[in-house]
Amino acid sequence: MSDIPTVLVHQHDGFVEIVLNRPDRLNAFTKQLHAELLAALKAADGDEGCKAVLLTGAGRGFCAGQDLTERVFVDGEVPDLSENLVERYNPLISFIRHARVPVVAAVNGVAAGAGASLAFACDIVIAAHTAKFMQAFAKIGLIPDAGGTWTLPRIAGDARARAMIMLAEPVSAELAVQWGMIWKVVDDALLHDEAVATCRRLAALPGSATALAKRALLGSSGNDLDAQLTLEAELQRQAGEHPEYRLAVEAFRRKG
C-alpha cells in the first residue's frame, strides 16, 4: 500500500475529475488503485451536484491494465485469476455502466489490456491523437477481461474485435474514431479542454434524462425490439414525471 494516492480527485462546478495516478507504471491497476477508483466513482455518483465524471490518466499513459508486477509466482501454485476479476474488475466495470452519472474518458495515451476495457466501458470516449487502444492479453496468454469481450464487438464490430483480440494489435486513436469505437480524437494539447467542455455540456443538461438514457442503452444490448420498446416506455414515463422535463419544456415555450 503506497502513501501516494493512486487516484486524484478534482472537484469542478457540476462534475468531478478522476485522475489515475501511477504514471511510472502507465497507471496500471493495483489493488489500491482499484479501491481508490471505485470509491471515487461511488462518491461522484452519490453526489447530487455531480452531473458527470471525467476519467483520465496522469503522465503519458491512460492505463496499462493489470499491474503485471503485482503477482508473485510461487513454484507449484496455480493462480486463480478469476478472483481478481470477480472482486475488483467486474464490480468496477458494472458500476460504470450502471452509474447515474455519465463517465467521460479522456484517453491521454496508451490504453492496454484491462485499461482498454476500462475506456470501452465509459459512456463517451475522447482520445488524444497519440493515444492507442490495445487488447494486449493475447501476448501474455490471456483472454480479454473487464468486459472487453462484451464492449469491443459492440463498438468495433465482430470482425475488428476478433482481430484486435487475437493479434493484440494496437489501434490508433485515429482508426478507433474511424471505426466508431470512440466519440472523438483531438490534438494532444486540446484533450483536457475538450473533455472538460464535454463534462460542462453534460452538467448543463437535465441529469435525470442522462441517467435514464444510460439505463435504456444498457437494456438495448440484451433486449429484442419489443422488450426494448417496453423498457423505453417505462423509462420515458419516469423521465416525464421528473420536474426537469416540465422545466425544460416550459423554458422552450417561453423562448418560442
Return residues touching ligand LHQ (CB under 6 A).
25-26, 28, 64-69, 81, 84-85, 89, 110, 112-114, 134, 136-137, 140, 142, 145
212: exposed, middle or buried (Cβ count in 10 Å: 0-12, 13-18, 19+): buried
Cβ proximity to ligand LHQ: between 110 and 127 the closer is 110
User: Which residue from 166, 167, 163 is spatially nearest to 181, judged by alpha carbons?
Assistant: 163
CA gap 156, 153 in Å, rounded: 5
DSSP H helices in 128-224: 148-156, 158-167, 173-178, 191-204, 207-220
Cβ proximity to ligand LHQ: between 61 and 207 the closer is 61
CA gap 151, 80 in Å, rounded: 24
Q: At what angle do helices 225-241 and 243-255 cross, to 10 degrees?
A: 80
Cβ proximity to ligand LHQ: between 11 and 82 the closer is 82
Which residue is nearest to ligand LHQ, using beta carbons? Answer: 65
Q: How far is the CB of 213 from ligand LHQ (least distance, A)?
A: 29
Cβ proximity to ligand LHQ: between 54 and 64 the closer is 64
Q: How far is the CB of 191 from ligand LHQ (least distance, A)?
A: 17
Q: How far is the CB of 67 from ligand LHQ (least distance, A)?
A: 4
Q: How far is the CB of 136 from ligand LHQ (least distance, A)?
A: 4
